[in-house]
């Protein structure tokens, strides 16, 4: 399920929130190979 569908928050707000969490290294974003609009969020060891 898409994060934007699971939460009652618009896409721009989710992107800003993820940007803030990505900076300290809590997760990494992996773009889809066939559809680069899809982004998989993977927790790092620090984010677990």
Q: Is residue 20 part of a domain?
A: yes
Confidence of residue 42 (pLDDT cuts 50, 70, 90): very high
Tens digits of residue pLDDT in 24-40: 999 999 999 999 888 89
Q: How many domains does the chain have?
A: 1
Q: What is the pLDDT of residue 1?
A: 60
Tell me the whole-structure pTM to 2 decimals: 0.67
Q: Is residue 33 part of a domain?
A: yes
Q: Is residue 48 part of a domain?
A: no
Q: What is the pLDDT of residue 29?
A: 93
* Tokens standing for residue 6: 């699971």
Q: Report how far apart, in Å, the C-alpha atoms of 9 and of each of 13, 18, 25, 35, 38 are.
A: 6, 12, 23, 23, 18
37: containing domain? 3-43
Residue 31 forms beta bridges with which residues?
A: 39
Q: Is residue 16 part of a domain?
A: yes
40 close to 46: Cβ distance less than 8 angstroms: no
Q: Is residue 12 part of a domain?
A: yes
Mean pLDDT of 6-26: 89
Q: What is the pLDDT of residue 38?
A: 87
3-state SS record for the chain = CCHHHHCCCCHHHHHHHHHHHHCCCCEEEEECCCCCCCEEEEECCCCC
Q: Is residue 13 part of a domain?
A: yes
């Amino acid at each position: 399920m898409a994060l934007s569908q699971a939460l009652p928050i618009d896409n721009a707000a989710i992107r800003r929130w993820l940007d803030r969490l990505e900076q300290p290294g809590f997760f990494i974003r992996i773009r889809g190979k066939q559809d680069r609009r899809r982004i998989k969020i993977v927790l790092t060891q620090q984010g677990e």
